[in-house]
């Protein structure tokens, strides 16, 4: 578990956060054990900003992965940050409800959720038909 949290912490240094100074890192592990990381990239027009989880999943999908086992998220404040609603929905496009989501509370404290707990009754292809 700590290896994934460490990867999320490490990538925070690359975040572009001139407006909020709120650095977020994400580390997404594929079913076969490969890890893809992402950090948040702010834009003066906040709606154009990219979230760490989105960057990580985009990198993984770009590299041909579609099955994931765990996600770790961490902020520079070690405040137990969870993926926002938009990121939860993006994750649900590629991940099952049982995706483990590890949230960094600081020191050696981690809160563990599943994606299904964070986003019950998700919008899916089935709900659109």
Instruction: Output the six-digit token pair for 18.
Output: 């001139």
Closest C-alpha among 68, 77, 122, 80 to residue 105: 80
Q: Which of 29, 53, 93, 109 is catalytic?
A: 53
- Catalytic: 67? no
Helices (H), ranges, the chain: 2-11, 52-62, 85-94, 115-118, 125-128
Give me the active site residues, please.
Answer: 53
């Amino acid at each position: 578990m700590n290896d994934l949290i460490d990867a999320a912490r490490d990538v925070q240094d690359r975040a572009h956060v001139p407006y909020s100074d709120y650095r977020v890192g994400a580390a997404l592990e594929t079913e076969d054990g490969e890890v893809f990381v992402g950090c948040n990239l702010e834009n003066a027009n906040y709606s154009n900003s990219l979230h760490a989880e989105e960057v990580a999943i985009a990198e993984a999908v770009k590299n041909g992965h579609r099955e994931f086992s765990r996600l770790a998220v961490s902020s520079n404040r070690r405040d137990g940050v969870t993926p926002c609603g938009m990121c939860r929905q993006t994750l649900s496009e590629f991940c099952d409800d049982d995706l483990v989501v590890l949230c960094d509370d600081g020191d050696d404290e981690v809160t563990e959720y599943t994606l299904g707990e964070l986003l019950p009754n998700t919008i899916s292809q089935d709900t659109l038909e």
